[in-house]
Chain A
């Protein structure tokens, strides 16, 4: 799961308090612990979601590219836009080095919900009630082609 997020990046979905959704790409993603992900965003990308997050911090995201089907999860949480500080500096530097992204901001998401989106009987199943170890076992039973797995 972590490897897919970092290898493919994510599609980030936000919504106004009135429920109008917007999407941008989180091309550089860095998983920081078991329940936090940071995305480096260029000026044009943060320009779309920053005004929305200022009013409504809720964020949902799924893995981009092949990850949309091979890593069939939906992540939900609360997002914060960071334009300075240690976390911004670290993520922005790595995004520049790995993907050439000039980060204007970092979207830091603290995850609160996790869902399976695999088509079939498990679609929509909520998974964040599992411990990280249980979730790891659950994932490994279903997915064998995990890219750049670090652990």
Chain B
């Protein structure tokens, strides 16, 4: 059973609050991988990663047919954030049954707290040529992390949690 460390929880936050830009890696059911950077990230409980569903396309399609995902730090790497979190994800969209449960994470709790993420944590640190004019959130991806391995050079693949 995974329990995030304090450093992991600090890293798995929006960049403007000392966190990270992350990569969310998914796959189709027949093994076609996909990798996309995400800014809106947080942790929930001790083993869940939350990611805003704002511009997800292939990522969303993949999660709907295959819950296996990997999350890793894209930037900054050099602060010792050499982790890959592997687990199972669901996209808790608006319209989900309010009592929907994903490994202990409740849809009502998640959407109430994180369902208007752009307003709660606006992307003030994002350069003006990149920031999106209007972010429409459709849900929250909840990753139940089952294992963590290293991508630190010389230690790649070593199990951490």
**Which residues from chain A sit less than 8 Å from chain B, CB to CB?**
11, 13-25, 27, 42, 44-45, 47-48, 56, 58-62, 64-70, 72, 74, 76, 101, 115, 117-120, 123-124, 142, 144
Across the A-B interface, how many residue pairs have beta carbons closer than 8 Å?
A: 142
Q: Is the CB of A21 within 8 A of B37?
A: no
Q: Is the CB of B156 within 8 A of A69?
A: no
Chain B residues, Cβ within 8 Å of A27: 153
Given contacts A13-B33, A62-B37, A119-B132, 8 further A-B contacts (CB under 8 A): A13-B25, A23-B23, A44-B158, A76-B34, A119-B130, A120-B133, A124-B57, A142-B129
Of the A-B pairs whose beta carbons lie under 8 Å apart in the complex, a sample of 30, sorted by A's number, is A11-B72, A13-B70, A15-B27, A18-B31, A19-B27, A19-B29, A20-B27, A20-B86, A21-B25, A21-B26, A21-B27, A21-B68, A21-B69, A23-B25, A23-B70, A23-B151, A24-B156, A42-B156, A44-B157, A59-B33, A64-B75, A65-B74, A65-B75, A65-B76, A68-B21, A72-B37, A117-B37, A119-B55, A120-B132, A142-B129
